[in-house]
Amino acid sequence: MFPAFLCEAGDVMIKINAEEFSLAGDKYLGRPYSEMDCQRFVELVMRDCGLKMDLGGSNSWYREVMKHGWVGTPEECKKIFGVIPKGALLFIWAPVDAKTPEKFRNDGIGDLKHIGYKTGRGKGAMNSSSTNGCVCESNFKDKSINGGWNRVGLYEKFDYGKGINWMLEHIGIGQDPGQGSSEGGNNMKAKVIAENGGTVKLRAKPSTNCSTYWDIPVGTEMDVIERGEDWTQCVAIGRTGWMKNEFVQLLDADQGGDGQGDQQAAAGDLVTVQLQMTRTHAETLLDVIDKIAGQIIQAIGGRG
């Protein structure tokens, strides 16, 4: 079961904007730790953004995100998602010891000593610190810190932007049970086709001047996250096996008799786009065609 997510309008399942969340705790800087420990601080900031949660501490939070999101080291997060987004939850992981709450000692996950979140500003993170005795900034520069932040959590009830949201859903996590459907979602696909057999550059930024890119081989299919006029955000599986959530320039494919795009794209920054229709969409289209054909026949017959 998922916990209840509430907003002022009543019981409504919502997502909160991760970047807004990363800014919302600034007003609590300096508030005493005795008023709010690390978990209470994070949950208070969530509540300010419209998400009401009440879990039992950083260990409970980490396990919640494991079930309904993604957790890993900062290095793994950057490798998989390309970035550690603002608003990502941060944890300090340590091996189980005598101080670990008993109910968390035997599940093989470890002991999560602390929770905060990434701001991407100033020192990089925000938390309520027992050491400093108050809500304060903490050092985090997108890498594991010896004795400090060494785990990242991306929670499904946060909106990290279309690219990361898509990746959370398509690596088998971050999706409510029963909400998935083979006939739903984004059906636009991009397929790399090049006469010279070359590769296509999947760039980190929507510009041919961007020197950070991955070569995607001919035949690779990419899911289109958001279609732009000049550049389109796509996800592809790179040669290393990691998903790349980046940008390409797309050409619309002509539709051949077999329903597959047959326009070939030059190697470099251009690929073709194919629209894969669901069965429901196809049946609807056929109904429309039948009606139009009937009207044409009637019109021709009337003139005869």
pLDDT exceeds cutoff 70 at 30: yes
Instruction: List pLDDT tens digits, range 225-250.
Output: 776 767 777 776 655 555 556 667 66
Q: Phi and psi (nearest 5°) for 166?
A: -60, -45
CATH architecture of 188-279: Roll (2.30)
Task: Quickly list DSSP for 213-232.
Answer: EEEE-TT-EEEEEE--SS-E
pLDDT at 142: 96
In the predicted model, what is the mean pLDDT of the chain? 76
Query: What DSSP line would sit under 3-36, residue for residue?
Result: PP-EETTEE----EEHHHHHHHTGGGTT-BTTT-
Q: Can you tell me whether residue 300 is helix, strand or coil?
A: helix
Question: pTM higher than 0.85, yes or no?
Answer: no
Q: How far is CA 190 from CA 20, 85, 93, 249, 258, in A?
A: 32, 26, 40, 10, 17
Choices 1.20.120, 3.40.50, 3.90.1720, 3.40.525: CATH for 6-170:
3.90.1720
* pLDDT above 70 for 257: no
Q: For the ranges 68-77, 166-175, 270-279, which has the lowest average pLDDT? A: 270-279
Look-up of token digits 């997060």:
77
- Parse the chain into domains and list their residue ranges: 6-170, 188-279
Confidence of residue 276 (pLDDT cuts 50, 70, 90): very low
Residue position matching structure tokens 């980046």: 246
Q: Is the pLDDT of residue 184 over 50?
A: no
- Could you check whether 6-170 and 188-279 share the same CATH topology? no
Alpha-carbon distance 44 to 59, whole Å? 17
- Report pLDDT for 56: 85
pLDDT digits (tens, 9 = 90+) for 59-96: 999 999 999 999 999 998 988 888 999 999 999 999 99
Residue 298, SS3 per DSSP: helix
Could you give the angle at the alpha carbon of 184 between the alpha carbons of 217 and 78, nearest 5°?
A: 45
